[in-house]
A and B are shown apart, each in its own frame.
Chain A
Amino acid sequence: MNNWKERGIEKIFLLSTIISSSITLLILGFMAYMALPLLRGGLFRLLTEPWMPQQGFYGIYPMIVGTSVISLLSLLIAFPVSLGCSFLISSIGPKSLSAVFRRIVQMMTGIPTVIYGFVGIFLLVPLIREFFQGGSGMCILTAALMLGVLISPTMILFFCDSFDRVPRSYIDAADSLGANRLQTLLYVILPSAREGIVIGVLLAFGRAMGDTLVSLMIAGNSIAEPKSILDSVRTLTAHIALVIAADYESPEFRSIFACGLVLYLFITIVILAVRRLAFRKSEERA
């Protein structure tokens, strides 16, 4: 009797797992299915043509460029700052201050994305417009700055976590050799936490790529390829939000599923890279 109950419960749990995982695959399936007619028309065309539906061009190239540029720029802005902050929290700052700072960073992860976008429109956009004396203020730079603030807490917490995971023995060894906290950080912890840092960067990159609100609200959404960081640009995510209106059978509508597909595949690649690195690190550890 008990055995039936045990097996039954296990089967129920297994069923839930299958349901959950099938959702992931269903999402991929739906994207591919809806984008299929467009893909059949030529994958290369889709990925490299500009977006001009009135002239029959349904390519998502400008949006791919937009997403890549904004994400990379935000990473470029956020990485040094996050690294410095994580140094501060884990080693350089005095204990009490570091604890407070860590709380502040943890609290930042709770701030909704729409708030960043909202404040961005009213605070940052006019600032950039005045500072550069030109452009509408809604451009790659503004979006990248806001996005950088958005992804920093995740990166900082991840870095601190990696620093904390460095084996105690390493730190003790450095201590016994007379190194102070900073030197331990720079010459012992940092090299060991190298993979952790890369993983953190990749995860933040994934987050930046997938963000919708910030780029929808402050990047301008133009359909041209950007030529400078003060140009208005549209990301894949904002494109989905903007074009959802079109007719269900039209190529425009299908293009947003192509965008979804591209995003899905980008993320999968990032996740796979992260797993490779994590696996290597744990092997090294063992």
Chain B
Amino acid sequence: MRKQYVVAALAVIFSLFVLTADCISGELEAFGGQKGTLKISGGTAHIPVMKEAAQRIMSAFPDIQISIAAGGSGVGIKQVGEGLVNIGNTGRKPTDDEIARYQLKVHQWALDGVGVVVNPKNRVKALTKAQVMDIFAGRIDNWKSVGGENRKINLYTRDEASGTREVFWEKALDKGTISPSANVVVSNGAMKSAVAQDSYGIGYVSVGHIDSTVAPVALDGVIPTIKTVKEGKYKIARGLYSNTKGEPTGLTRAFINYLYSREGRKIVEKGGFIPFP
């Protein structure tokens, strides 16, 4: 009697294995028989996800070559529009003007947010929207005005091609000014390491990138985490988009589909974002 149950259980487990194994390899199978190069550039927030996906694809199919460049959302749009790359990543939705001009097709595969961050040693952990606007405009320049130590605030902002900056400027600052004397860094990673090293620094970074090296700052009472972005509580949200010129074909199409597949979604989650849709 016992033996039969064991055998049945084993059979069930075995068939489950077979079925799921088929599923997993099926997602990468779309790449089978493809060869050539896929060029990706643009948003810096996307890079960890891109690298992971590229690594898995290239390990399974050595004939495929995927190259990833940074540059920011502006670069992504321009390069995919000019045909210099196959996929241009952006951290903001391309404007109608850009879509019309380059015949872009927009594919959103994640939900992300932009959060204000400070150094973990800083005791200021919550700010109101008005305070954030004043700090970044340069009107408040000392931490003691917002409850911290008596030290000057060191501002960090992103370069002009950045989608992260665009979203932050539009939604958190209500298109207010960013002080010209702010230090400019070139990517989300750079922003993170700058704020992590500067005890009196403040900046803004993709929510998916926030880890233990920087401390998120609650905006009007809501801490920027991936959970609050998903629930809609944290308002400074944005999508991560991969844009192609026209409908994607071949290798490009396979890659974009991979991002939407189950394995792709796992990679997106691992990157700290919310898979979309």
Contact = CB atoms under 8 A, between A and B. Distances in A.
Q: Do chains A and B touch in the complex (CB under 8 A)?
A: yes
Interface of A: 50, 52-53, 62, 125-126, 129, 133-138, 220-224, 231-232, 234, 242-243, 245-248, 252
B180 A52 contact: yes
Nearest to B151: A134
Contact of B180 (A134, A224, A247, A252): A224
A126 B180 contact: no
Interface string B147-177: 0000110101001110000000000000000
A245 B161 contact: yes
B88 to A, nearest CB: 12
A220 B183 contact: yes
Nearest to B76: A245
A222 B161 contact: no
Nearest to B41: A245
Contact of B184 (A52, A53, A220): A220
B82 A248 contact: yes
B181 A246 contact: no
5 contacts: A136-B201, A221-B185, A222-B180, A231-B181, A247-B74
A50 B152 contact: no
Nearest to A52: B180
Closest 10 CB pairs of A and B: A245-B161, A224-B180, A221-B184, A136-B154, A224-B181, A245-B75, A220-B183, A223-B180, A232-B183, A245-B74
Given A245-B71, A252-B160, A129 B183 contact: no
A129 to B, nearest CB: 7
B154 A245 contact: no
Contact of A134 (B75, B152, B159, B194): B152
B230 interface: no
B78 interface: yes
Contacts of B181: 222, 224, 231-232
A222 B182 contact: yes
B252 interface: no
A133 to B, nearest CB: 8
A137 B160 contact: no
Contacts of B197: 125-126
B198 A136 contact: yes
